[in-house]
Amino acid sequence: MNIAIAGASGRMGRMLIEAVLNDPDAALAGALDRAGSPQLGEDAGAFLGRHTGVTLTDDVERVMADADCLIDFTRPEGTMAHIEAALRHGTKLVIGTTGMTEAQQDVVRAASEKIGIMFAANMSVGVNVTLKLLEFAARYFSTGYDIEIIEAHHRHKVDAPSGTALAMGEAIAGALGRDLKDCAVYGRHGVTGERDPSTIGFSAIRGGDIVGDHTVLFAGTGERIEITHKSASRVSYAQGALRAARFLAAHGAGLYDMQDVLGLR
């Protein structure tokens, strides 16, 4: 499968390039970077000391024309532009971008009527199995337990709560028959009053080089249960993205997530 990578000079972009280069079933078809990036024109494998013949470019049209699938872990505004180009070229998309508005998510949903899109806040197999565990736990801790989600990421992350934390909240709220928009509480300050037992709380920590830690706390009377996932490396995200690309190769237009890719639906 001919795979292109967006955000190719970033931390996640480089991890994805390395994963594609090491996969015998994939070929690196393009490496997109932002206009004005000092890395434009460099070989995509330079950071590994490898010559690939693929150079970093900001020419979206050229990359889309050569790729079967684009893997995009960039920012919402970049992803919106990539979707427009993907629609023109019929290129499938694996999207791991977080921090999208509802309107931007509507754009993703509309595009999936014409091309195959796998859209997930986190592509780690471990995280997606954890989401299923949370659905199961939430049904049994639906009364008498307060639910809090605590996440920690590196100092460079620009959105909060993380997309993974929100996905966990959605999984729990869905299992409880609630709408996360109505029951989420994002941080607390000052005199807040007693905790509403129907709410799901979120707390975000930013610091250092933390790749991604997520803990869901079910706090009852006399006991508490914690379900935690910790990422030590972005490798799991890259491998999950490649797995998603293989899934899309066998599927047509539609909006999919990692639950579909892993058969957990």
pLDDT in tens, 77-122: 999 999 999 999 999 999 999 889 999 999 999 999 999 999 998 8
Residue 157 and residue 90 in one domain: no
Residue 104 and residue 14 in one domain: yes
Angle (deg, nearest 10), helices 235-249 and 11-21: 60
Residue 178 and residue 225 in one domain: yes
CATH number, position 199: 3.30.360.10
Q: Domains in the chain: how many in total? A: 2
CATH number, position 44: 3.40.50.720
Residue 67 and residue 81 in one domain: yes
Residue 115 and residue 238 in one domain: yes
Active site residues: 153, 157
Rounded Cα distance, 55 and 213, in Å: 34
pLDDT in tens, 161-191: 999 999 999 999 999 999 999 999 999 999 9
- Are 71 and 82 contacting, i.e. CB atoms less than 8 angstroms apart? no
Q: Please give the residue range of the domain that contains residue 242.
A: 2-119+234-261
Residue 47 and residue 178 in one domain: no
Q: What is the pTM of this model?
A: 0.83
Provide the H-helix boundaries in the chain: 11-21, 60-66, 76-89, 102-111, 125-140, 163-176, 180-183, 235-249, 258-261
